[in-house]
A and B are shown apart, each in its own frame.
Chain A
Amino acid sequence: MIGMFITSTVYAVEVIVNVSVKDTTLTTSQLKRIYTMRQLRWSDQSVIKVFVLPSQHELHRRFTKERLQIFPYQLNRIWHKLTYSGLGVAPTIVNSPEELFTAVSLTPGSIGYIDMPDSNLDEGAVNVINIED
């Protein structure tokens, strides 16, 4: 499984969720709300747990621009404001795509992102979310 992360081919950034998440489709607006911490619950009212890579990570930069259509520094500002003013909780930062995948596969209600071909996903470890504009 490690091998697929070192490949030089650039794959589309896919949004993944824990298998406990019932939602299978999200709009770009919903995804943006989830990552800007303006939507905290799934449609069944369970709590959303958001995982991200460090803000300078290349995959994080691609995810914010391609999927969220906002800039990484804007996300940082929103999260810093929540974390250091006590107003809310920001996403949990993990260090590598492998850790992010593991975190999402093990944490109920969680959401994250990867870049790899679908066929390489461990069968049933996470669900890939279909994103509509």
Chain B
Amino acid sequence: MLSILKTNTATTQCIILSIVALVIFSIPVSAQEAIASTEYNAYQENTSNNGLFNAGDLKLHGFVALGVIDVNGSDFVNDDGSLSTELTEIGFNASWQLDSQFRLAGQVVYLDGGNRYEKGVRVDYALIDWSAIATENWQLNVYAGRSKNNHWLYSSTRTVPFARPSIILPQSVYFDGFRDIAVGHDGAGLKLSHSNDDYGNFDFNLTYGRSPISDEQEEILLSQLATGKAKQEFDLQSSFYWQPAFSQWRFGLSLLDSDFSYESARPEKPDAFFDAEFSFQFYTFNALYEGEFWEFSGEIYQSRFETTGFYFPQHHTDNIAQGYYLQTRYKLTPDLTLLARYEDFYLNKEDKDGKKLEEDSMGLIPAYFGYHKDTVLGLSYDFTSNLSLRLEYHWVQGAGRLTPVVVPNPRKNDSEDWQLWAAQLMYWF
């Protein structure tokens, strides 16, 4: 059985690599020219713009990122600590302008990140975009369908290798174990933008929806012992960004409110856990400075996680986690960028060193599961306008952002200090 599984994995990898090779060798040469030329050719042939399908209004883009990652001292990517090629991200998207007000857009991604998240293909977004207002100073867009989270500093680009600042993002906010729930939602949203010559640019986003939770995602978050069904009841988020006029600074804040439920498999099947309700709130404040050579950014955040039930029917906890990260990038040349970042996060603001966690679990969960501190150095080099290489090294203290979350695994993660390095080659069109 195991060998069949391995063969299947190998076959899947072969197919994916073939697709990657095809994409790399066929599209780059002609994609941009084709897109551009269809755009104005279509206008030549169809200047009245009354055809059913105008090729100029269809835009196709995508990306391929392959790499190697090596983690020593934790199960962040794999269980045995060996060098891994599980750092593959492939995406393909289309945007079709139906008329001056309506647009369809969708993106499919394939991901392989080892233990970080479920391996496979998913729909990143599939939406209809209604441009309700578009004047010189105001824009209002209404989105329906599956949309990306656009509220945090890097939430909408976390899945796009070349558009995020590092291969591995600050895990306290952009936790890979929570990726598939946090990355977007099925529902609706709106974006209101205002540009003002005196006061600058203002953006307000509001979204409402929910994300499905797969069995594997449930295992990653809870544990294999949870045989029941977890569900996101709703997810309400809003954010506000302001860039003062003629300023290189931008400031943002975001608010999130979400409820989850867990339906125990008991008494039909054995289940280590009971019915539960979870309530999650998350607030962030961020700032970004973009200069010619220097860039500074940071996010500070607090979350509240309330659990009712789960461990036993009368169980109730109300936990506040806090953290921040500060990041700087320096452009040594227009093509070579250096990165430095420090992140500090603790799961319980009343127990920053995790001692209480260890005591409450009667020594089963070591104190270092109560926090996560990450120091990162990295660099990224642009070979061309759409081919980049990125390298980075992380020194991590603590196991507070390793999976599974609810029932931590101190046997695999038996070290407070762990390190990782990664290299990723990224192509996009």
Contacts and interface: CB of A to CB of B under 8 A. Distances in A.
A40 B134 contact: yes
Chain A CB count within 10 A is highest, among B43, B106, B148, B292, for B43
Chain B CB count within 10 A is highest, among A57, A86, A103, for A86
- Chain B interface size band reads 35 or more
A103 B40 contact: yes
B154 to A, nearest CB: 10
A83 interface: yes
Given A71-B292, A80-B163, A86-B107, A51 B150 contact: no
Contacts of A33: 136, 195
A95 interface: yes
A41 B95 contact: no
A95 B44 CA distance: 20
Contacts of A56: 334-335, 382, 384-385
Contacts of B334: 56, 61, 72
Contact of A108 (B47, B136, B148, B292): B47
Interface residues of A, number: 42
Contact of B91 (A30, A51, A57, A84): A84
Contacts of B191: 87
Nearest to B36: A94
B63 interface: yes
B39 A40 contact: no
Interface string A8-26: 0000000000000000000
A86 B145 CA distance: 11
Nearest to A85: B156
Contacts of B131: 40
Given A84-B163, A85-B150, A49 B39 contact: yes
Contact of B100 (A47, A86, A88, A106): A47
A106 B292 contact: no
Contacts of A103: 36, 39-40
Contacts of B106: 86
Interface string B104-142: 011100000000000000001101010100111101010
Nearest to A27: B197
Interface in B173-211: 191, 193, 195, 197, 201
B304 interface: no
A71 B103 CA distance: 29
Given A30-B136, A71-B292, A107-B39, A86 B125 contact: yes
Interface string A66-97: 00000111100100110111111100111100
A29 B63 CA distance: 32
In the A-B complex, the 6 residue pairs with the closest CB atoms: A54-B385, A85-B156, A106-B40, A80-B163, A86-B105, A86-B125
Given A89-B59, A107-B40, 13 more contacts: A29-B197, A33-B195, A41-B135, A51-B36, A54-B32, A73-B331, A84-B159, A86-B106, A86-B129, A87-B141, A88-B141, A107-B43, A110-B40
